[in-house]
Amino acid sequence: MSQVLILILRALLLIAALLCAGVAIAAQGGRFSGRLDVLTHLTPLWLTAGVLSALAAAALTPDRYRTIPLLAAIVTCTSAILLMAPEFRPTKINPQINPSTGPTLKVLQFNVWQDNTDPAATLAWILAQDADVVVLEESKHRSRSVLLGLYEAYPYRVTCTGTGPCSTMILSKKPPVDFKGLQTRDIPGRRPIAAAWARFDDPAGPYTVVALHLTWPMMPPGLQKLQLASLNATLDELPKDRMILAGDFNSTPWSFALRGMDRRSGLIRRTRALASWPATQPFPVLPIDQVYAGAGWRTVSVTRGPKLGSDHYPVVVVLEPVSPRGRDVAAR
């Protein structure tokens, strides 16, 4: 390779490394800006690209000039660690393996994708899980047959419009005692969101299930925070001890939007570092399907399902009640 080509390649790699370092710095501004928070979701991308390009540029650079690409790599890594490290930190709050000692509740969260490429396999897998509650998003168009096939096993449905058509829904084997769709404009001061809640009675105590499908973080930037603010206002009106919130958040745990949800909701996120998208690629990168639960639930297991016909992987969470019957009612 001629010296000219080496110089061009080195320059391009250095530009890429500096660009990724700039993005890494800008991503920290997501604390204050919804537009900059969009960059946090892409942390694995700019971290990988930034480090590889910086190291390659350093390898092609004379010793005395290697400081710049190496500093770019340090800046990129530091920002990524600040964003992502909390998600991978061990926590006693959310054990992933914890054998149950009594009755449990199995919740299946799945964006089945409106362009589902294998609805038959998707339907068969969901039925085989025999979950107590199934939360679905994008249950329309090509995935409509999945919904129809689940009717016998899950005859009770609450959608984000209540009982009307909506692709975000809660399916259950038992009838809810109360429910509401949140894709409505009849709540003053609340933004309509693709969400719904349903309340169930149970021998171990009543519990509430909330389904949610947030918009993409860049459509437009900042809208997710407004949607979450509206959701939290609704959650505050419901008992949280036995609440379960599941859905496609389109938001990674290292974004400031979801960090705010973790702090504000009063619930404990049980899905940690569980990549669920994109299922259309060799392996998933972003953990955007989340399940939260109140303090009245103990985590028994959290597992990611197989690759099916969706662009998301399903998530299955098994919970065990830990608070006595009536505590959830008192929380009202």
What distance in Å separates the CA atoms of residue 107 and residue 315, rounded to the nearest whole number?
8
Number of folded domains that form the chain: 2
9, 131: one domain: no
Higher pLDDT, 18 or 96: 18
Task: Flag whether pLDDT at 83 surpasses 60.
Answer: yes
Answer whether residue 90 shows pLDDT above 90.
no
The pLDDT mean for the chain works out to: 91
Q: Indicate whether 80 and 220 sit together in one domain.
A: no
Residue 97 counted as domain residue: no
39 and 109 part of one domain:
no
Q: How confident is the model at residue 149, as a pLDDT?
A: 97
Domain that holds residue 80: 3-87
Rounded average pLDDT over 180-203: 87
Residue 28 — pLDDT band, cuts 50, 70, 90? very high
Q: Is residue 98 part of a domain?
A: no
**pTM for the complete prediction?**
0.90
Residue 240, in any domain of the structure:
yes
In this structure, the number of other CB atoms found within 10 A of the CB of residue 264 comes to: 14
Report if residue 99 sits inside a domain: no
Let me know whether 258 and 228 are in one domain: yes
Indicate if the pLDDT at residue 65 is higher than 60: yes
Give residue 328's pLDDT.
Answer: 42
Task: Report the Cα–Cα distance between both ends of the chain, in Å, rounded.
Answer: 72
pLDDT of residue 231: 95
- 179 and 213 in a single domain? The answer is yes
Asked if residue 198 belongs to a domain, the reply is yes
Q: Do 279 and 324 share a structural domain?
A: yes
Tell me the CATH number at 111: 3.60.10.10
Percent of the residues in the chain that have a pLDDT greater than 70, as a whole number:
93
Most confident of 61-70, 96-105, 181-190, 253-262: 253-262
